[in-house]
Structure 1
Amino acid sequence: MLLAVGLAVGLALLLWARRRCPRGAGSWGLVLRHWLARRWLARAAGWQRRRLEQACKDGPRSQELLLLEGAGTPAPDAATFRERHPLTRHSADGTEPPPSPRPPLGLWALLRSCCAASSPLQGSVLYLDVLARAYPEALSPRGTARFSWARGCSLPAAAWPLPSLYCAPEAVGAAPSRAAALYVQLLLALQERALRVLEAGLLSELYDALATLRASWEGLAQDLASGGLSPHLELPQGLRHQLEGLLAPDAARAAELRAECARGWDVIARRLWPRLQVVVVAEPGSEQLYWEALQESACQGLPLYSPFYSAAGVLLGLNLWPEQPEPHYLLCPGWAFCEFLPVEPPGAEGPPDTVPLADVREGQEYELVLTAQAGLSRCRVGEVLTVAGFHYRCPLVGPVRRLSQTLSVRGEGVPEDRFYRSLRRAVAMWPGARLVDYVCAESSLMGASSGACAPHYQVFVELQGVRDLSEAQRYKLDQCLQEDFPVYKSFRLKGSIGPLRLHLVAAGAFRELRDAVGTRGPMARVLRDHRPLHFIQSRVLS
């Protein structure tokens, strides 16, 4: 009797899955596995949410327990731990640590591990639950297109416990080049007209993928119609064979792509994927410029959700409120031991003492001090946060700036985020100009090529709408900096800082730079390495 009931239930599930399987979503077996995984993840998310809420109600105790359990060197209490371990500084060489290890993605491994307490797993399970509550159709099978690449490996996806969510296999992220990976990911996304989510490891990856659409839509349409990959695309033979097995000729979709691209690029994402609900990316940070450009054209009307906050390769916080326009991240007290150095005004006497997680103040800026199992012990990771509020006894934070991204040739200390505001103000004074991208460097990095003059800033910009700038227009940026930073102005008047030098680069130069460098994190705005500097110098027009 029980066997008969079980067979009947199983048959009913199979028939349901087959009916629910959307066109292009793969086999009904995939839909069934997806449905079962979602049911289990919903239960795991409820358990993980209750666990997180309890930890937040007693944040100080959660942090003490983390020390005792081995985040760094075990200590009887936080005060003793601070006495034993002096503050250190995180390396600011611009390299990124490798991705966090993950268990296998098989369904049974998922069932066994969903209730684990590790931060990557807990974060991903809670993220899936938050996303589904805010956007009910977001977890449809093969309803998410992911754009991501890192040299020599594939990076963890935000929703990696649910691999059936993605329309492209993870292996695409390990393609030989960034351009090839984004092209293939875009092609597989275009196959799925019913996409609900665009996900990117970095905003620049989504920005460049949609730039690929603009530059290569005819080739993409041809590949859609033929159900194959262009022979000019450089891919290993095994990967090419795997990917072509996912493609099928679709002349109707190719015709739709041609028609929509011929209409222009405004709202192109919504026109190509009418059921899109949200764009998911890592913490925007210094890449906000790309989102502003996407919102003006290709992604008009789409909300942006940034679910995670991490620093020094360690997952630290989770955004539980996707409906808010400004992301605020709950610092989860069981993920890493956090301390905070108050950001003191210039001229303050002596370094401040660190403040524990439970004692930070709303509205105050702090430098993050981190202790985690990733080998960090009381490490100043170079991140400045602002406290936006509290969830029980744990702070909600918003990243402000990275200390390594500060221009300082005479100790003047111009943070990158404020430099960007001055640059935007200057661009607004150049008739017809729109800022596409930029980087800057201190003249000392350039050596003799910077000329025999006082230390100064070198700024490289890509603009739309203008072909050149007069010397008077270029001086506007230096003038804006003097108005915004009195210390910089005083050094300029004394002659100990020389005039800023502004260079225009060729269209597409920064995209080529990202393809060539292939970093795993956001592109540095203040360059500290000769390689990207030499590359962008080679693209200077004037």
Structure 2
Amino acid sequence: MYSQVLCGLCQNKEVLRVGAVFASGFIRAIRFLENNWSLLCKDIRNGTIDTRITDASVRGAVMKILRPDSELADFIEAECNKQSWQGIITRLWPNTKYVDVIVTGTMSQYIPTLDYYSNGLPLVCTMYASSECYFGVNLNPLCKPSDVSYTLIPTMAYFEFLPVHRNNGATNSITVPKSLNGKEQQELVDLVDVKIGQEYELLVTTYAGLYRYRVGDVLRVAGFKNKAPQFNFICRKNVVLSIDSDKTDEDELQNAVKNAVNHLMPFDATLTDYTSYAETSTGQGHYVLFWELSFNDSTPIPPSVFEDCCFTIEESLNSVYRQGRVSDKSIGPLEIKTLEAGTFDKLMDYAISLGASINQYKTPRCVKFAPIVELLNSRVVGNYFSPKCPKWVPGHSQWSNMN
């Protein structure tokens, strides 16, 4: 990353686009620049590369580009030294036309941060793909992130679709099994038979040999290009959190967090990243949300504001969760734990140390692996609980909605 950023700065007038696969990865690169710009300026000024870059081939490639340039170093130093980093992308790379990142699904939480750093440059989601195969493309790449839809290319793989039945906000299973049962096989539809507005789980049969592989993505049919269906990415199918009979999926959790962070706006604070954990080791199980915040103001946030955030999240969750809180008493008050700055960078570093790809890495929206939970808990700076139970009306549960 150091070498890529260094080359990008050396050729700052030639850069026409910036980005990464996922929005979270690109924001990590900007934070890396925030932490290392003085070293980068030193290398540009002297025409050298930091001794910590030890790979000979990387050093050789960089030195083909790098030349001593004190004027450029002064310019970068002046921009990075300013109190505000708003618009830093267009300030350092003035010819940048757009930011090429995926901002659909839970990546949408990073849109305000990207807009801040880029001065509102277009956020372009060009393609839809996974480790298993490419799926399709966005035929209108300059559309708003909320309007992104992907047209699946039928020669990429053989696509099949399993209808998703939502019960008051939660998808119809806790995990995605590897194989289909008999009923599911009968429900499968081909690409030409999907219906507009319906949500489906995507299955692929690939040239590499995967047969009816459950990708785990939930898509909604948004429309058609000629006769080709176009899909909105909704969420991952796996339920993120569950204590008792409650099932909270990624999409529902994202919407609940989005509602809650509105309480932080008066304090000029933003949510950098978050994950969650179902705490069941002590007595009454409850949801725990780990939040890392960034502050543009020195005004402290009162504990009552975080308590309001907890309550807002609970109010935003489905009725089965609220029944567990209010009537069954099987779920305890939701808890928010605030974290030290840089915690999610350390989480990413840990995942990469275990073999994860930096290009494919996404912050997990639920953690269960004990070492990760321990890492997060070791960096907690504050914890807050929902002060009261959310509203729940008897007879309006998930199960009654199924009748």
Query: Structure 1 length normalisation: TM-score?
Result: 0.61
The aligned residue for residue 159 of structure 2 is: 338
CA contact (8 A) 1:333 1:394 kept: no
Mapping 1:468-479, distance limit 5 Å: 470=303, 473-474=306-307, 476-479=309-312
Which deviates further from its counterpart, 420-429 or 495-504? 420-429
Residue number among 220, 224, 229 corresponding to 1:390 in the alignment: 224
Using the alignment, how far apart are the partners of 1:324 and 1:202 within structure 2? 17
CA displacement at 1:481 relative to structure 2: 2.0
Residue 272 (structure 1) aligned with residue 112 (structure 2):
no
Tell me how many residue pairs correspond in the alignment: 352
CA contact (8 A) 1:307 1:319 kept: yes
SS of equivalent residue, structure 2 residue 380: coil
Using the alignment, how far apart are the partners of 2:312 and 2:131 within structure 1? 35
Residue 525 (structure 1) aligned with residue 365 (structure 2):
yes
Residue 288 (structure 1) aligned with residue 108 (structure 2):
yes
SS of equivalent residue, structure 1 residue 400: strand
The aligned residue for residue 435 of structure 1 is: 271
The aligned residue for residue 388 of structure 2 is: none
Using the alignment, how far apart are the partners of 2:139 and 2:305 within structure 1? 48
Using the alignment, how far apart are the partners of 1:529 and 1:374 within structure 2? 31
Residue 491 (structure 1) aligned with residue 324 (structure 2):
yes
Residue number among 174, 184, 188 corresponding to 1:354 in the alignment: 188
SS of equivalent residue, structure 1 residue 460: strand
CA contact (8 A) 2:256 2:312 kept: no
CA contact (8 A) 2:259 2:312 kept: no
CA contact (8 A) 1:342 1:364 kept: yes
Using the alignment, how far apart are the partners of 1:321 and 1:470 within structure 2? 44
1:379-426 CA-partner distances (Å, limit 9, x unpaired) = 222110011111222211111000235222223221222212212322
CA contact (8 A) 1:401 1:417 kept: yes
CA contact (8 A) 1:203 1:282 kept: yes
Closer, same or farther in 2 for the Cα pair 1:228/1:426, shift >3 Å?
same
1:468-509 CA-partner distances (Å, limit 9, x unpaired) = 652673364245323442111001111111222221110111
Higher fraction of strand: 2
Closer, same or farther in 2 for the Cα pair 1:282/1:346, shift >3 Å?
closer
CA contact (8 A) 1:405 1:525 kept: no
Instruction: List gaps (5 residues or longer) in structure 1.
Output: 1-181, 445-449
The aligned residue for residue 139 of structure 2 is: 320
Code of the aligned partner of 1:474: E
SS of equivalent residue, structure 2 residue 211: strand
Residue number among 505, 510, 515 corresponding to 2:344 in the alignment: 510
The aligned residue for residue 99 of structure 1 is: none
1:171-221 CA-partner distances (Å, limit 9, x unpaired) = xxxxxxxxxxx2221111001122101131222221111112222222211
Closer, same or farther in 2 for the Cα pair 1:282/1:293, shift >3 Å?
closer
Residue number among 281, 297, 303 corresponding to 2:122 in the alignment: 303
CA displacement at 1:334 relative to structure 2: 1.1
Using the alignment, how far apart are the partners of 1:469 and 1:526 within structure 2? 27
Closer, same or farther in 2 for the Cα pair 1:529/1:234, shift >3 Å?
farther
The aligned residue for residue 100 of structure 1 is: none
Code of the aligned partner of 1:498: G
Closer, same or farther in 2 for the Cα pair 1:434/1:323, shift >3 Å?
closer
The aligned residue for residue 204 of structure 1 is: 24
Percent identity between the aligned chains? 31
Using the alignment, how far apart are the partners of 1:438 and 1:328 within structure 2? 25
Q: CA RMSD in A?
A: 2.3
The aligned residue for residue 293 of structure 2 is: 463
Residue 454 (structure 1) aligned with residue 288 (structure 2):
no
Using the alignment, how far apart are the partners of 2:46 and 2:371 within structure 1? 40
Instruction: List gaps (5 residues or longer) in structure 2.
Output: 173-182, 383-403
The higher radius of gyration belongs to 1
Closer, same or farther in 2 for the Cα pair 1:183/1:284, shift >3 Å?
farther
Mapping 1:65-104, distance limit 5 Å: none
Using the alignment, how far apart are the partners of 1:268 and 1:476 within structure 2? 31
